[in-house]
Chain A
Amino acid sequence: MNAVARLASIALLLAVWFAGAHLAGARLLPGPQAVGLAIIQEARSGALAFNLGVTLLRVAAAFAIAMALGTVLGLAMGRLPLADRLGDPWLVVLLNLPALVIIVLAYVWAGLTETAAIAAVALNKLPIATVTVREGARALDRSLDEMATVFRLSRWVRLRHVVLPQLAPYLAAATRAGLSLVWKIVLIVELLGRPNGVGFEIGVAFQLFDVTRILAYALAFVAVMLAIETFLVQPFERHVSRWRPRTA
């Protein structure tokens, strides 16, 4: 039933696309078959795989840095009132700084480099990861903490078996929201200051007014991110919540 509903929804999307392409004309909105052909062409030349790979590496690096730092900062701020008081103003500033400002400043200060690009993306994602993990750290169960203290569990055992499982839902939420945010910002970073990647290709296509190519790259990358969500994020979530009694 679920699968049928999903398929019907996708079929409807394709139908709307067909109709739109017919009405708007191939120059403004190329039909699905034209975009499909463009994807195949780019794939044959190897450009698609290369650009997807480069972008994916940037996404992975920025995401990993932001999540690791965000988890550490969030835990510290959720558990230590002093850390929270010190860090909170910084969080508010970062949360409200437009992505574009961070990116442009990173390029101005550090040059059009890979480091600047990844740092700018990570810095955009960092405050959201921190805030989410902080919520989780504030909700940690004191009674389990006391149990761990009395039984003198080692630091590592405490983190791995007492703290992280409680943070898992928050980390999963941060991952979900984070992945989609990071890949959108990576594209902007590439458009503004990188010589390759999906964002760069879309920038070139924009200058040539090549809507087919814009859609080809966008759709290919959405497919990659969907695959990551389906085959990596969701199974991981199921794995960490395997102890929960099944509902119905």
Chain B
Amino acid sequence: MSPAGAPGRLDVRIREKSFRSAAGGRLHVLGDLSFTIGSGEVAALVGPSGCGKTTLLRIIVGLDRDFEGSVELSAHGRLGIVFQEPRLLPWRSVEENVRLAAPGADDAALEALFGTLGLMEHRRHYPGELSLGLARRVALARAFAVDPELLVLDEPFVSLDAALAARLRTELAELVTRRPMTTLLVTHDVAEAIGLADRVFVLSASPARVLANVPIPNPRSPQSADQIAAINADIARRITAARMSA
């Protein structure tokens, strides 16, 4: 296993990303879009649905290389990802799924990870025997187990019931607090972004660009309704300012 180095720093500079539409024209998905996530920082990307968040993620993790611009990740570029769907191997047990992605992870670290995520008694189960909530946890465990320099989460709590989503958010917050990890969380839920991130990037409608870059005071700590309202107001103000100057 490569040494568990410092978390990486992510620099995204996209000039343009477009798809060829079926009719032959070009479909602009991403405009001039740049942002930086500092080492060990948790950043959330929020934006209206269909604004190109998933396309942006696919570019960042290297699944889509057809774009103009650059994506740079310092260090080795080891990635951990949680897709919208768990994407587990149905023919391998929970533990095998995690170990195959992270062949170098040591037993104690995995043990701790399974413990935190409540997966202890499910290690030998197959994904088909798990609820969606549990499968999501396995996907989280797999992403953390590789000890990534960049952790990417694509709406990881979508379509879970509110209580379960809240519990998983707490577990995620606990994991990134215990071991700082450069993280990019994509969500359409502003409250989720405020609750988890150090910094929130607000994207415009397609073609997406960054409308606002909002640092969150006292990240991942309980916030009063007033504080949350203040952050929301800050976000709204920055969006208006960005629209005025554009």
Contact = CB atoms under 8 A, between A and B. Distances in A.
A150 B61 contact: yes
B69 interface: no
Contacts of B100: 153, 157, 161
Query: What class of interface size applies to chain A in its complex with B?
Result: 10 to 19
Interface residues of B, number: 24
Interface string A112-155: 00000000000000000000000000000001101101111100
Contact of B89 (A149, A150, A165, A244): A165
A150 B101 CA distance: 10
B37 to A, nearest CB: 17
A151 B62 contact: no
Interface in B50-109: 61-63, 78-81, 83, 85, 87, 89-92, 96, 100-101, 103
B101 A153 contact: yes
Q: Is the interface of A mostly helix, strand, loop or mixed?
A: helix
B63 A243 contact: no
Contact of B63 (A144, A150, A157, A240): A150
A243 B128 contact: yes
26 contacts: A143-B83, A143-B87, A144-B87, A147-B81, A149-B62, A149-B63, A150-B61, A150-B152, A151-B80, A151-B142, A152-B79, A153-B100, A153-B101, A161-B89, A161-B92, A161-B100, A162-B89, A165-B89, A165-B91, A240-B91, A243-B91, A243-B92, A243-B128, A244-B90, A245-B128, A245-B129
Interface of A: 143-144, 146-147, 149-153, 157, 161-162, 165, 240, 243-245
